[in-house]
Amino acid sequence: MDQLASTDKYSPYRIFSAEEWSAFRADTPLTLTNDEVVRLSSFNEPIDLEEVRRIYLSLSRLLSAHVEASQLLFDQRKVFFSVQDAVKTPFIIGMAGSVAVGKSTTARILKELLRRWPSSPKVDLVTTDGFLLPNEVLRNENLMERKGFPESYDVGALLRFLTDIKSGQRNVRAPLYSHLVYDVVPGEFVTIDCPDILIFEGLNVLQPRELPKDGKIVPFVSDFFDFSIYVDADVELLHHWYVSRFMRLRETAFRNPESFFHRYSQLSEDAARAIAEGLWANINLKNLHENILPTRPRANLILRKGEEHRVMEVALRKL
């Protein structure tokens, strides 16, 4: 059964076309300029003000309702437990999806819209890239060809980070990752200090772990989420976007001698395209089918993209 099929009465989702979804914007103001949207867009992931109006203003309004409901529940629990010094914890939004689908752009646009609500909440964004094991460790464990797969992450560090965030601790550090050198930066961190909202973005953030047979508690990353979003697209589009991005990077960022992928900039166009096709087929496509796509039905909301990264359909989990 396709859980996303709009004709399936047993689906846990309500399906909306982009035009239907756009109407839920109501009076939500557009607080971004065209220049800001261009600045927030990732390489080869175009987005414009019209797409922000069509999709992201309604999403911002929906998330506002969820955050307000969470805050109301927090206040009610204080009354229920007769406590006055309870620490309000951040509202965490998990964001998952394939390589090249445009998660980074979606996360940055969403962050800017949320932080410009009238209440001016503090909004932070962290990606799971920093929690990848260092390349040296991956090489020693023969995992470089599995980079981005669940086993390539320091799951303990990742869960400790989310535990500290959700418990309201101050100045929690997340490791930094450099896409230039394709590795975690030793001794470099970003500090997250009690945000109102945290967007946590990564390939596998909705994936459950294997359950123990003795009934011990095994936390999942998604256990810490108050809302989750999956950015989706047909595999053929993802393939095209990945290869196109690789070929454009070959002409730009890969030309930097410090780039991990600098050697690819020296290849002919045909040779470079063959490398891109191989990376897609042998690593990213496998990861998509084995680990990422199976988590799609766990999301609260799915943004389904079509050509040119435009969202064509939105699936919202029923309450």
What local confidence, expressed as pLDDT, does residue 1 receive?
A: 36
The model's pLDDT over 94-143, given as tens digits with 9 standing for 90+, comes to 999 999 999 999 999 999 999 999 999 999 999 999 999 999 999 999 99
CB neighbourhood size of 104 (10 A): 20
The model's pLDDT over 175-192, given as tens digits with 9 standing for 90+, comes to 999 999 999 999 999 999
Say if pTM beats, i.e. exceeds, 0.85: yes
Q: Residue 2 pLDDT > 60, yes or no?
A: no
Q: Residue 5 pLDDT > 80, yes or no?
A: no
Question: Residue 95: which of 192, 215, 194, 228 has the closest Cα?
Answer: 228
Confidence of residue 55 (pLDDT cuts 50, 70, 90): very high
Any idea where the domains of the chain sit in the sequence? 13-317
Average pLDDT, the chain: 93
Q: Residue 52 pLDDT > 60, yes or no?
A: yes
The model's pLDDT over 226-241, given as tens digits with 9 standing for 90+, comes to 999 999 999 999 999 9
Q: Residue 215 pLDDT > 80, yes or no?
A: no
- Per CATH, the homologous superfamily of domain 13-317 is P-loop containing nucleotide triphosphate hydrolases (3.40.50.300)
